[in-house]
Each structure stands twice: as C-alpha cells, then as structure tokens.
C-alpha cells in the first residue's frame, strides 16, 4: 500500500498553523490519498547540543525563539489572569487538534528512528507555514533530509519566512533543495530564493487554506455566529497601538462593536483596553467563524487576510514588522496582495479606506486560477501514490 508522510505544524497553537495543516489534510482526503502526519521528537545528545550552539549567536533565532519565549514566561508571572486566560485558549487549540487530526504516525524518537521509519513512505511532503526559516533549518526534519534517496520528496507552499537568505546559509539550503523532487512555495520571494540557490525551480502555489473555497470550508467548519450584533473583527499580533486607535475611531463612527483576540503570542501592552469583546475560548473553528460573520476585518495576520478574501470581507491589512527588521515576515503579505490585486488593502494611514469596495469577482477569478494551477502541481507531485 502506497503511503504519504506529511510534515506539518498540526499542534502548534496558532490559528494559521492549525488551519493550513487541516486544509492540507482535507485536500488529501478529497483525493483519497493514504497519508499520515509524521511525528518526530529529538533525542537530546551532546552532538545535538553542539549543533545548536551557533544558533545562540544568530539574531533571527534569538528574536524568534529565545526573546519571545523569555518574555512570555516573565509576563505570565506578572499577569496571573492572563496565564489563566491563555490556558483557556490553549485548551481550545488542543480540542481542535485532537478532533481534527486523526491520521498520526507513531512518535519517532531520535533522528535514526525517523530515518529508518520514513522508508515505509512512498513519498514525504513538507507543508506550508514558515518551516524553512533560517532559525530552524538545521533540524533536518522540515527540509526532508531524513528521507531516503528513493523516496519522492515534495514541498507544498512552504515558506522561508524571510525575503532573502544570508550567504552563510546558502550551502545548507542548496543541499536540501537540490534533493527535492517537486518544489512549491507560498511567496514570490520564496521562488526567487529557490531559483537562485538551487539547481531546481519552484512554483508559487496558494496557501493550503485557499485550496478549499467558501462552500468547502462550510462543509468542514459549519457556520456558527458567536455574536448576534454587528461587529468588527480586529486581529492584531503586532504591538502597534496606533493601529488599534485607528480601528477604535472607525468603530465609533460606524456604531459597531470590536471583537479582538488579545495577547496572542505573549502579553501585549497595546491590547490593554482595546476592543469590546475579548474572548479567549476561541479555537481555529471559532476563528474562522469570527471572520465569516464580521462586518469588517482589520488585521496584521496573513491568514486573517486570506480568510477575509475567502468570505469576501471588506478588510484592511497592516504591516506587523518594519521592513528593516531582521525577523520581518512581511513578504507573505506582499505576495498575497500583489498576486490577487489587493495592494490597495494595505493600511496607508486612512482607516476609512477600508470602505472602498473590493472588486471581488476579479480577485476571486485570480484566486480560482491560482487554486487550479496549485491543484495541478499536486496532481503531478502525488502521481507516485496512485
């Protein structure tokens, strides 16, 4: 029996990570592909510790992992209620993960076990999300270096998370990219990276959540209205108070309530006092429904923007990072807006520009064309499993 092993962040407590992982599995089920999510845990060895030592001097890794985790732990100590609230949110993520992800491999402990067990797969595929970020590229999991030479190796909509790869990393990237049989990426900048450092070429495909249209999402996540009154959904991960002030001004002028999800990654001072409703019992399904039933959406989130388009919302997207930030991930928003004719939805200082109507027939025509070409890519890549 031919089987596909997939490497995705199915249990990462992030709306985008879980929803794109779920969309990937939903698409595979629609294709009647026999698959399972590969579960891998590292064994802590002296060799592994030595391998990761250089990361302590990498600004991307320090910003993405060490500082963020340290800040979160400190803030939880000072904000006891936030710790309790985050446990409620965490449980909502766990519930979605446990209910929605059933096709799981045994846990492979240690790299040798991963290599050996991976031989049972006809093909392995790394999913979307920022799984090729320089901060984690040495793990040899999401780059599929563990897979046997005879195993078909596929990437679907995988993201580098950055617009450029520093010269010191390019040899590492070339090594694993050259081994892949089918490469697709989520951003235009990702294609440029692959085409420049590898002998292979990459195709830009839709994020997995766009493989399903609004009707198919309704089949996967039935509609449930969480608030009876009209509302704005404001979903900000960044720390810019001016964005929240602008949304508050807009809401007052329109006579609408604001629903928001505060303190997503860690304590965020800008979230204090912002919004009329700040629920914490929101898992990925509830997140989809908050967008689905909103009058307007304001966000600095990539997937907040994507679902806004799926549900034809009047939305505005904000930059979460400054363009010169070493950890900037603005490139995915850049690609999304450029590819579908949505550049005017970028916030430029006028919050009321959100009222300019979006030409959704034109936008969704582009999305549908891209969806079809992305499915054609999967047709070719998954041919080995028939």
Query: Bridge partners of 299?
Result: 235, 317
Question: pLDDT digit string (tens) for 273-292?
Answer: 999 999 999 999 999 999 99
For the domain made up of 214-368, give the CATH fold: Rossmann fold (3.40.50)
Alpha helices in 255-359 (DSSP H): 284-292, 302-310, 331-339
Taking 60 as the threshold, does the pLDDT of residue 66 lie above it?
A: no
Q: What is the pLDDT of residue 154?
A: 98
Alpha helices in 230-274 (DSSP H): 241-254
Q: What is the pLDDT of residue 321?
A: 67
Residue ranges per domain, the chain?
Answer: 4-212+369-385, 214-368
Phi first, then psi, for residue 260 (nearest 5°) are -145, 160
Tell me how crowded residue 78 is: count the other CB atoms within 10 A of its CB.
Answer: 9
Q: What is the pLDDT of residue 19?
A: 98
Q: Is there a contact between 26 and 127 (Cβ–Cβ < 8 Å)?
A: no
> Distances from the Cα of 357 to the Cαs of 72, 286, 345, 353, in angstroms?
39, 26, 10, 9
Taking 90 as the threshold, does the pLDDT of residue 53 lie above it?
A: no
Q: For domain 4-212+369-385, which architecture applies?
A: 3-Layer(aba) Sandwich (3.40)
- Say what the pTM is: 0.90
Q: Is there a contact between 68 and 265 (Cβ–Cβ < 8 Å)?
A: yes
Segment 20-43 shows an average pLDDT of 96
4-212+369-385 and 214-368 in the same fold: yes
Residue whose structure tokens are 């509302």: 231
Q: Which has the closest alpha carbon to 141: 161, 122, 158?
A: 158
Q: What token pair was written down for 70?
A: 């340290």
Q: Is there a contact between 35 and 3 (Cβ–Cβ < 8 Å)?
A: yes
Taking 90 as the threshold, does the pLDDT of residue 59 lie above it?
A: no
Q: What is the pLDDT of residue 266?
A: 77
> How far is Cα 184 from Cα 45, in angstroms, rounded to an integer?
33
> How far is Cα 153 from Cα 125, in angstroms, rounded to an integer?
6
Quote the radius of gyration of the chain (alpha carbons, Å): 21
Cα torsion 24, 336, 145, 112 to 10°: value is -50
Q: Is 308 exposed, middle or buried (0-12, 13-18, 19+ CB in 10 A)?
A: buried
Q: What is the pLDDT of residue 47?
A: 58
Tell me how crowded residue 45 is: count the other CB atoms within 10 A of its CB.
Answer: 11
> Distances from the Cα of 148 to the Cαs of 18, 144, 145, in angstroms?
28, 9, 8
Q: How confident is the model at residue 44 (pLDDT cuts 50, 70, 90)?
A: low
Helix (H, G, I), strand (E, B) or coil at 28: helix
Q: Which has the closest alpha carbon to 37: 142, 139, 184?
A: 142
Question: pLDDT digit string (tens) for 303-347?
Answer: 999 999 999 999 999 998 665 554 555 677 888 999 999 999 999
Q: What token pair was written down for 231?
A: 């509302």
> How far is Cα 204 from Cα 190, in angstroms, rounded to an integer?
8
Q: What is the pLDDT of residue 204?
A: 96
> How far is Cα 92 from Cα 86, in angstroms, rounded to an integer?
10
Laid out side by side, the sheet with 123-126 consists of: 104-109, 35-41, 4-7, 123-126, 152-158, 182-185, 203-204
Q: What is the DSSP string of 322-373?
A: -TT-TT--THHHHHHHHHTT-GGGB--S-GGGGGSPP-HHHHHHHHHHHHHH
> How far is Cα 4 from Cα 192, in angstroms, rounded to an integer?
28
Helix (H, G, I), strand (E, B) or coil at 224: coil
Q: Is there a contact between 382 and 374 (Cβ–Cβ < 8 Å)?
A: no
Q: What is the DSSP string of 128-173?
A: SSSTT-TTTGGGSSTT-TTS-TTSEEEEEEE--SSS---HHHHHHH
Question: pLDDT digit string (tens) for 163-193?
Answer: 889 999 999 999 999 999 999 999 999 999 9
DSSP state of 63: I
Q: How confident is the model at residue 49 (pLDDT cuts 50, 70, 90)?
A: low
- Name the least confident of 44-48, 249-253, 328-332, 376-380: 44-48
Tally of residues, the chain? 386
Segment 356-370 shows an average pLDDT of 97
Crossing angle, helix 284-292 and helix 15-30, to 10 degrees? 90
Q: What is the mean pLDDT of the chain?
A: 90
Kindly give, in sequence order, each residue whose CB lies less than 8 Å from that of residue 109, ignoring residues fewer than 6 positions away.
41, 43
């Amino acid at each position: 029996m031919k089987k596909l092993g997939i490497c995705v962040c199915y249990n990462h407590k992030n709306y985008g990570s879980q929803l794109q992982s779920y969309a990937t599995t939903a698409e595979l089920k629609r294709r009647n592909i026999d698959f399972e999510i590969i579960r891998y845990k590292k064994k802590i060895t002296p060799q592994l510790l030595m391998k990761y030592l250089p990361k302590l001097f990498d600004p991307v890794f320090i910003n993405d992992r060490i500082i963020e985790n340290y800040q979160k732990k400190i803030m939880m100590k000072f904000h006891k209620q936030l710790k309790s609230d985050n446990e409620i949110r965490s449980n909502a993520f766990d519930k979605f993960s446990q209910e929605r992800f059933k096709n799981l491999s045994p846990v492979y402990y240690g790299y040798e076990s991963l290599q050996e067990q991976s031989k049972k797969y006809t093909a392995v595929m790394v999913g979307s999300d920022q799984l090729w970020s320089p901060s984690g590229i040495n793990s040899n999991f999401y780059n599929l270096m563990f897979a046997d030479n005879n195993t078909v190796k596929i990437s679907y909509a995988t993201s580098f998370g950055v617009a450029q790869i520093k010269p010191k990393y390019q040899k590492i990237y070339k090594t694993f990219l050259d081994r892949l049989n089918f490469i697709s990426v989520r951003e235009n900048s990702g294609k440029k990276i692959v085409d420049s450092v590898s002998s292979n070429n990459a195709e830009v495909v839709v994020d997995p959540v766009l493989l399903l249209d609004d009707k198919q999402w309704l089949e996967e996540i039935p509609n449930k209205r969480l608030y009876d009154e009209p509302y704005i959904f404001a979903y900000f991960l960044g720390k810019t108070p001016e964005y929240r002030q602008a949304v508050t001004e807009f809401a007052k002028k329109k006579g609408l309530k604001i629903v928001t999800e505060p303190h997503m990654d860690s304590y965020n001072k800008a979230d204090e006092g912002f919004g009329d409703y700040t629920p914490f019992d929101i898992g990925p399904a509830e997140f989809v429904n908050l967008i689905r039933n909103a009058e307007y959406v304001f966000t600095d989130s990539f997937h907040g923007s994507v679902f806004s388009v799926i549900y034809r919302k009047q939305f505005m997207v904000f930059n979460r990072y400054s363009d010169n930030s070493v950890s900037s991930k603005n490139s995915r928003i850049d690609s999304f807006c450029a590819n579908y004719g949505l550049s005017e939805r970028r916030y430029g200082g006028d919050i009321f520009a959100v009222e300019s109507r979006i030409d959704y027939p034109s936008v969704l025509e582009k999305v549908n064309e891209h969806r079809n070409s992305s499915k054609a890519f999967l047709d070719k890549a998954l041919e080995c499993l028939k």
